[in-house]
Amino acid sequence: EVQLVESGGDLVQPGRSLRLSCKASGFTFDDYAMHWVRQPPGKGLEWVSGINWNSGTISYAASVKGRFTISRDNAKNSLYLQMNSLRREDTAFYYCTKDSNAAPGGRFGNWGQGTLVTVSS
């Protein structure tokens, strides 16, 4: 059974940094691209970033480009999101999701339970 477990969400002040982690199990992690998708409480979904199986292809939403960095460690079956210069509008549940392909561009068939990031002073 595919499992994705996010961690690292917290209350953080504007301008500070935070690192999210996603631990994957139940599938061959380095066969698939991975993504982060976020959802402000009570609002819709926003794709944040994606990474292919070997970290050779990475993309970001315009709203986070230059501030967030996605990475993965295939030896640890883990996906990460380093978030710098956080803004109040980054407040959201952050979901880790598995692509159906090794390169980003397939469907998001498996999702974690989400971790909440709150940016507030």
Partner 1 sequence: ESVLTQSPATLSLSPGESATLSCRASQSVGTYLTWYQQKPGRAPRLLIYDASTRATGIPPRFSGSGSGTDFTLTISSLEPEDFAVYYCQQRSDNWPPVFTFGGGTKVEI
Is the Cβ of residue 35 or residue 72 nearer to partner 1 in the bound state?
35
User: In Å, how far from its chain's centre is CA 38?
Assistant: 8
Selected from 1, 13, 44, 66, the binder of partner 1 by CB under 8 A is 44
Selected from 20, 22, 32, 50, the binder of partner 1 by CB under 8 A is 50
27 near partner 1 (CB under 8 A): no
Alpha-carbon distance of 13 to 87, in angstroms, equals 8
45 near partner 1 (CB under 8 A): yes
Is the Cβ–Cβ distance between 1 and 107 less than 8 Å? no
The DSSP secondary-structure symbol of 89 reads G
3-state secondary structure of 30: helix
Is the Cβ–Cβ distance between 50 and 34 less than 8 Å? yes
Q: Of 7-15, 66-74, 78-86, 110-118, which segment contacts partner 1 by CB under 8 A? A: 110-118
Catalog residues that contact partner 1 under the rule CB under 8 A: 35, 37, 44-47, 50, 52, 57-62, 95, 100, 104-109, 111-114
